[in-house]
Structure 1
Amino acid sequence: MLRRVDRSEQECSAEDAATVHPTHKDFRKTISCGLVDFRDVADEARQFLSLPRPEPGADPRSRPASAPVGSPESARRLFAISHPIAGTVVEAYLRKRGITALYETGSLRFHPRCYYRPDRYSPTETWPAMIAAVTDLDGRITGAHRTWLAPDGGDKAPIDTPRRAMGHLLGHGVRFGVAHDVMAAGEGIETILSLRGIMPVMPMVAALSAAHLAAILFPTTLRRLYIARDDDQAGDNAMRTLVDRAQEAGIEAITLSPQLGDFNEDIRTLGKDALRSMVRVQVAPEDVARYMTA
């Protein structure tokens, strides 16, 4: 805010300037001896005030270059500044969704105040969020998925689009465990974590949408792929495409079907025991012994 300075204030300022402490006068005399570069002035001031010199190479003005909005680098930075989920709103949210087995969930993190903007014309809001790292087959982060949450973790945040992704997603996904010869793939994070509740050591990947599920890349060592389909048209289309791609690559494809809309709805509505019984008959016998809990 601008305000007008009256004459009395100008006079007070002039009087103050005329009564500068002698030490200040000495300092003004010191820095007026032909120094024109700010760095030289700063060095002289530091010496006069007996302040330590900065570390060699340190530049207080240097900051990392900003990453393009929505880029893989932006996704990597968001994941890096987020926190482990233990004891956070994310853990509360997942448990509310019937997900209690949180083994190998390092791909998930918590951000307490993640930016959310409904559209380009609206102000930015902040909400707690589950941040999921999207990685390629080598484990490099190529993107991130954000699920904004209610402050108590009881549900997703009451906003128009509580889920959004950024970065390069095609072919990649949110991974739980490292796949070798066997892997399961599905759409949603909650869907995959529901299956992990009954098969906690089977490597799995959440592709985040039906279209991306159809396009996931296969590890070169993969021999059997379980496809956790959602019970809708998009899920059926993705499943058929993925079955064809797997068979062309010489990979056995087995479809896992939920009783309700998806496996998270199954575990929340029917319970873990019912989900285990239902999935057990769809899994290859050798994998029941290898991966399923009693």
Structure 2
Amino acid sequence: MPRHDASELAIRLGREAEAVCRHYLSSGHRAGRYWLVGDVQNTPGRSMFVRLTGPESGKGAAGKWTDMADGSHGDLLDLIREALGLVDFKDVAEEARRFLALPHPEPESTRMPAGGPSSSTPGSPEASRRLFAMAEAIPGTLAATYLSGRAITSLSGTAALRYHPRCYYRPDEHSPTEIRPALVAAVTDLSGHQTGAHRTWLAPDGSGKAAVETPRRAMGDLLGHAVRFGAAAEVLAAGEGIETVLSPRQVLPRMPMLAALSAAHLAAILFPPSLRRLYVVRDRDPAGDGARDSLVARAASLGIEAISLTPREGDFNDDLRQRGAGALRAALKDQLHPEDLRRFLER
């Protein structure tokens, strides 16, 4: 994107600085001319501050932020990138335009979406739907090999996952496009309509993720949506990563679950109107703790019972791989509501 286009987006976001903060940093609050929050991942706290007023550009501009804990800083485009875990600047700009309800620019004829040539705007929901449609079922593919290597062997109810043998990967805007195999996940809204996609590029033999700087990337409209396994009604389990969520599903195959793809997105998931009990599949890290606290608070405000599922290791996939399905089953048995033990775990 030309520099002047990025500057114009940053200025427009700065004019709506408080609205941006309320949307992406909902765990924070306004204090005079600033928005205070724990960090750019929306962790509760006061170490990061965002200027809500000031000139359009330069020193002290509206939207400039600094995290006093680690010295990181930037503008509201940087905030959106970090909050949503985006990598490509075109995806950051797409999200900024979506927030501002600006018209999207015409796609450049020299660009291509991640899965292959298309008339859809790269990174758009339309491009994500085309990518997923081009992919294939994962049994017998490198995607299945990859998941098996993570001790995920039961693939019941995983129609949201597919395999693309020739998925486009571009290290950065100055590098040529590469073709690599990838696990592709559909991101959907509450009605099941696909709004985005997530790609995990794989090693040539499926033994792990591809040896690239950013082997995971998302595209499309992500905020509030998720990769879903099973149809949620009264009970739902929600976590960050796909493998993290699929791990407890190895022993709870009938429990509906979703992967929000990042801590920031987990804190912002939308709840089905029928939901009565939410399990938060947490990761043992500060971002995971912040997402859990925010999600639990939102659920409680709507009268939804929220229960944390806590791994013994860093996340539930670590537990599954290091301790085995039997130990994971026993650990989850101690954390589930009695009604859900009978419904989802006991056979």
> Is the TM value for this pair above 0.5?
yes
Calculate the TM-score normalised by the size of structure 1. Answer: 0.77
**Displacement after TM superposition at 1:139 (Å):** 0.2
Q: Please give the per-residue CA displacement for 1:168-227, whole angstroms capped at 9, x wherever unaligned.
A: 100000000000000000000001100100100000000000000000000000000000
Name the structure 2 match of 1:134. Answer: 187
Residue 213 of structure 2 is matched in structure 1 by 160
Per-residue CA shift, 1:220-264, capped at 9, x if unaligned? 000000000000000000000000000011100000000000000
Runs of 4+ in 1 over 3 A off after TM superposition: none
Residue matched to 2:171? 118
Query: Matched residues in 2 for 1:81 and 1:123: separation?
Result: 22
- 2:166 aligned with 1:90, yes or no? no
Q: Please, which runs of 5 or more residues in structure 2 have no aligned partner? A: 1-116
Q: Which residue of 1 aligns with 2:204?
A: 151
Match of 2:134 among 68, 71, 81: 81
State how 1:190-229 maps to structure 2 within 5 Å: 190-229=243-282
Q: Give the secondary structure class of the aligned counterpart of 2:159.
A: coil
Match of residue 78 from structure 2: none
Task: Name 2:231's counterpart in structure 1.
Answer: 178
Q: Which amino acid aligns with 1:112?
A: P
CA distance in 2, matches of 1:293, 1:96: 27
- Deviation by residue 1:254-281 (Cα, 9 ceiling, x = unmatched): 0000000000011001111111111110
The aligned amino acid for 1:89 is: L
Distance 1:180 1:99 in 2: 25
Q: Is the 8 A contact 2:232 2:256 kept in 1?
A: yes
The alpha-carbon distance between structure 1 residues 232 and 65, as it changes in their structure 2 partners (threshold 3 A), is closer
- Who is 1:245 aligned against? 298
**Which amino acid in structure 2 is aligned with residue 179 of structure 1?**
A
Please say if residues 98 and 268 of structure 1, whose CA atoms lie closer than 8 Å, have aligned partners that are also in contact.
yes
Query: What is the aligned-residue identity percentage?
Result: 62
The residue aligned with 2:311 is 258
State the 1:292 CA deviation: 1.1
Deviation at 1:293, TM superposition (A): 5.0
Conservation of the 8 A alpha-carbon contact between 1:156 and 1:162: yes
- Determine if contact 1:199/1:293 at 8 Å carries over to the other structure: no
For structure 1, the 5+ residue unaligned runs are 1-63
Aligned residue type for 1:152: D
Give the whole-Å Cα distance in 1 for the aligned partners of 2:206 and 2:199. 14
Look at both structures and tell me which one has the larger radius of gyration over its CA atoms.
1
Q: Is the 8 A contact 2:118 2:127 kept in 1?
A: no
Q: 1:65 deviation in Å? A: 6.8
- Secondary structure class of the residue paired with 2:236: strand
